[in-house]
A and B are shown apart, each in its own frame.
Chain A
Amino acid sequence: MLILIKNANIIAPQSKYHNSKKDILIEDGIIKKIASKISSPKAKSINSKNLHVSIGWLDIGAVSGEPGYEHRETLESLSSTAAAGGYTGLAIFPNTDPIIDNKSSIRFVLNETEDHLVDYYPIASISKDCAGKELTEMMDLKKHGAIAYSDGTANITSNGLLLRALQYAKGDESVIMHNPNDPSTSNGNNIHEGIISTQLGLKGSPSLSEVLTLERDILLSKYAQSKLLVHNISAKESVEKIASQIDKNITASVSYLNLCLTDDALQSFDSNYKVSPPLRSEDDRQALTKGVNNGKVQIITSNHIPLEEEAKKKEIVYAEPGTIGLQTSFAGLITHNNKISLNRMVNCMAINPRKLLSLDIPQIAEGEKAELTIFDPQASWTFNEDTNQSKSRNSPFWNKTLSGKVIGVVNGDNHYFNTY
């Protein structure tokens, strides 16, 4: 199979082709040639007016519906959604039913997705059943394919449990991931506590409830001298706290949605804007953007949480938090945040996640395996019934036209190109 990517602006900070415009010829999953002009009549030709290429993107923290919630998302639909959104790798959270807390669950995910275009890196839970009580068999989980440990969307309130997890994971230099949130002060995480929540009469989640936990998590990580991903921060104060750290063990991520939107969107009581962590103020959004741009926040995530209509189409306090994000993360950022460069996005969505997980970083060079995302930041498309690849549709961008389109992905012998 021959694929010819025409006139590609190559965004690959670690490659000699970085920022150059080239044709790329792929043969049987290998980058055969990179040159200013390549002619290959037999090849499938990929064109777009403002075509860009980077290494394939990798997301940390997407939630799969399968097993347990197949009506929300199957592993197959998750892969399609990820590929349509430009991802070739997924490190998925363990919040399924059953929870990914034993080797059978890990093997299930890996076996089911073996022939998928997208590479799966399951994250095993820290505690059994994500209940926050007992540690899982972390070493065994790692041996059978777990890439890291996290209770995902569940918060760990026990200091002792998180400390022991950090200490235990240190043995194999694995990463512990935790979303900082103190449930006893976050009031159900319906909305950021501020003027909007006050006007709407909703009990808000103060930035305090994130910072309280974030400070604890950093202290525990330092004590254990163990790797921690402070997953999906949302508050200005968190960025400041992270920025004051000089600790190679601590990495921070942010959900793309928190870089795009603010709590102002909740004026309409639309539960598609109810997410965890909550959308906060414009000040917070700007601080997060700054944190991404100065390298203090190293990873941008999709925070992909598929939910059925019944869980969302209700009064906001009863609706479950979460939105699907894999297919709209790039377009959302291009449309709603013009402060983050393509270079920075590729760093935060492809390179830094692999560095954190100690994965090899694909190279854009002749003779290398092709693991590429092809996109056009100026093309527009509409996210709707025709284009959506997920089984769910809980998105604030539903029926919205967005700038920034993923053209497709190549991962070795597998490739996928959007038809919209």
Chain B
Amino acid sequence: MQDGRLSTRHLLGIKYITTQDIELIFSAAKQFKEVINRPIKKVPSLRDVTIANLFFENSTRTKLSFELAEKRLSADVVNFSSSSSSVKKGETLLDTVNNILSMKVDMIVMRHPAPGAHYFLSQHIDAQIINAGDGTHEHPTQALLDAYSMQEKVGNLRGKKICIFGDILHSRVALSNIFCLQKLGAKVRVCGPATLIPKHIDKLGVEVSYNLEESLRWCDVANVLRIQLERQDIKYIPSLREYSMYYGITKERLDKLDKEIVIMHPGPMNRGVEISSDVADSDHSIILQQVENGVAIRMAVLFLLAKDRNDLAA
């Protein structure tokens, strides 16, 4: 992994990286996973690197996961949180970030509600940028940790059938998952009520289904997405009650299948809505492994990007 280099300076989205990049990140993550399971979980790789975590939208696990990854690589870390509304009213994104960069920050990990905010920023600033979610566009580290977790469970993803269930329209995870899984050779399907599926998503080369039972029978892995009520400015489904009845993944539905499928969820879960507790906590579920792998994947991404920076400096 010392010889490997990413093809990009930033991680703006899975769309902008290659299959080789993904494989390189996975191979680094494997080594970092071993590191974080040691009694002493810290390595000095990013000792001279200062990272700012800028969260313009709420986050618990992604923020924590990035911060842990950064600290385990011995980076200096500063955090900034702000609700999008206050930023919209006052300082521009560019001004906020330039202010922070003046304090000699090397890398930025950012979550922002506007699709393309990271791309926009990359056109105007010098620091390296990692996308921790931009609106309904991409969430690349989530897709990487999802694919990595799937590979751990079912092996090489080439030809494997992965179905993403739920609110595709408001999900950045779905889009990044689609791009990532396709690059790794998997067959991808999306399933949910038609109001929550972007009209032209089939043009990305994914199958579209509105039938939950049939899609469960089709897939090897079910990635269940959260209903993003906070991102729905208008009502796309009549009620959560109806959604859970017709699109909720329940033990009863899984028991009807003649095979075992892997259940994933990027969190946070709405238990009893898109996924029932007995499924979330079952042996089929790898939800907690996803979280563990998240730290390793983020360490790998940070390490590889910082390495690129050091090479350039040298």
Contact = CB atoms under 8 A, between A and B. Distances in A.
Interface of A: 193-195, 197-204, 206, 268-270, 310, 313-318
A315 B116 contact: yes
A198 B135 CA distance: 13
B204 A199 contact: yes
Nearest to A269: B116
B120 A316 contact: yes
B77 interface: no
B136 interface: yes
A318 B114 contact: yes
B236 to A, nearest CB: 12
Nearest to B119: A269
A32 to B, nearest CB: 54
B199 A317 contact: no
Given A201-B135, A201-B136, A201-B138, A206 B199 contact: yes
A317 B112 CA distance: 12
Contacts of A204: 200
Contacts of B159: none
Interface in B113-166: 114-117, 119-120, 123, 134-138
B235 interface: no
**The 10 residue pairs across chains A and B that have the minimum distance between CB atoms:** A201-B137, A269-B116, A315-B114, A201-B136, A195-B203, A201-B115, A198-B200, A269-B119, A315-B117, A317-B114
Contacts of A268: 119, 123
A193 B200 contact: yes
A202 B137 contact: yes
A310 B200 CA distance: 32
B215 to A, nearest CB: 20
19 contacts: A194-B203, A195-B200, A195-B204, A198-B175, A200-B116, A201-B137, A201-B172, A202-B115, A202-B137, A206-B199, A268-B119, A269-B115, A310-B92, A315-B112, A315-B117, A315-B120, A317-B114, A317-B135, A318-B88
Contact of A315 (B93, B136, B203): B93
Contacts of A310: 92
B64 interface: no
Interface in B67-123: 88, 92-94, 112, 114-117, 119-120, 123
A216 B172 CA distance: 36
A316 B117 CA distance: 8
B201 interface: yes
Contact of B92 (A203, A206, A269, A314): A314
Given A199-B204, A202-B136, A316 B199 contact: no
B120 A269 contact: yes
Contacts of A317: 114-116, 135
Nearest to B15: A199
Interface in B183-200: 198-200
A198 B203 contact: yes
Nearest to B199: A193
Nearest to B204: A198
Contact of A198 (B92, B120, B134, B198): B198
A197 B120 CA distance: 16
A202 B92 CA distance: 20
A195 B206 CA distance: 12
Given A195-B203, A269-B119, A269-B120, A316 B114 contact: yes
Contact of B116 (A194, A195, A316): A316
A203 B136 contact: yes
A195 B117 CA distance: 19
Contacts of A198: 175, 198-201, 203-204
B115 A313 contact: no
Contacts of A316: 114-116, 120
B242 to A, nearest CB: 23
Contacts of B93: 314-315
A194 B202 CA distance: 10
A296 B203 CA distance: 31
Scoring A269, A310, A317 by chain B CB atoms within 10 A of each residue's CB, the highest score goes to A269
Contacts of B116: 200, 202, 269, 315-317
A202 B199 CA distance: 12
A34 to B, nearest CB: 52
Contacts of A206: 199
A149 to B, nearest CB: 32
A314 B95 CA distance: 10
Contacts of B135: 201, 317
A296 B112 CA distance: 44
Given A200-B137, A315-B112, 8 more contacts: A199-B204, A200-B115, A201-B134, A202-B115, A269-B116, A315-B116, A315-B117, A318-B88
Contacts of A203: 136
B94 A313 contact: yes
A199 B203 CA distance: 9
Nearest to B92: A314
A385 to B, nearest CB: 19
Given A201-B136, A315-B114, A194 B200 contact: yes
Contacts of A197: 200
Contacts of B114: 315-318
Contacts of A315: 93, 112, 114, 116-117, 120
Contacts of B172: 201
B13 to A, nearest CB: 9
